Amino acid sequence: MRNRQRVAGYYFVTDAVLSRAGNLSDVRGAQSAGVGVVQYRAKQGSSRALYHEALALRSICREALFLVNDRLDLALAVGADGVHLGQEDLPCLIARRLLGPDKVVGVSVRSAAEAREAERDGADYVGVSPVFSTQTKADAGAPAGLEAVREVRRAVTLPVVAIGGIDLDNAAEVIRAGADSVCAISAVVCASDVEAEIRKFQGLFRASAP
């Protein structure tokens, strides 16, 4: 699937609780920085409120893929490019059946076995989470560590996204472990200039290119 090629470099995930400027401003900054993926993650608020915010964010993402976290219904309602699913969400097979072959389905994994299952079930990429200890997701669980990134990288041909406790101090080693993409939520949305912070992460990928 050609959209898999866009899951590379910095992967942006919204967080309205941590954000200094708000989701709309943050996504505009991510768009300006040239990210390939914007994931809308919102755990609070009514379905109606989330729908209207997702619709507004969707209109900003002219170049980036716009994905919705967990909520397949919301992704369908706003015409998102796809959905990102956790292990407790709808199975990847069902999401693929409902979304069709041209939409993007990402799946969070913690092991090579889960990654292989996601690939068999039609996922377009897998997200290893959490790599390090994180405070941005209360139910994230214990850190999987860099070895999990290496194991998942060896297990699948899909793009591998790393998330959880990543910042500018450790992102380079995550990339060396095999991540095609990294997400660092608090390191970016808590900054005064979201676009500038994203560009710093993108620079790490350019530096690691052969």
Does residue 151 contact residue 30 with C-beta atoms inside 8 Å? no
**Catalytic, out of 6, 103, 137, 153:** 137
With b for 16 or more beta-carbon neighbours within 10 A and e for fewer, the 36-45 pattern comes to: bbbbbbbeee
Q: Which of these is catalytic: 19, 103, 108, 153?
A: 108
Residue 137 annotated in active site: yes
108 is catalytic: yes
Residue 147 burial (C-beta neighbours within 10 Å; 0-12, 13-18, 19+): exposed
The one catalytic residue in 6, 41, 58, 96 is: 41
Task: Give catalytic status of residue 41 as yes or no.
Answer: yes
CA 17 to chain centre: 17
Please give the distance of CA 90 from its chain centroid, rounded to a whole number: 17
Tokens 């790599």 belong to which residue?
A: 131
Q: CA nearest 155: which of 204, 113, 199, 210?
A: 113
Adjacent-strand bridge partners of 127: 108, 161
User: For the chain, what is the radius of gyration of the CA atoms?
Assistant: 16
Q: Which residues are catalytic?
A: 41, 108, 137
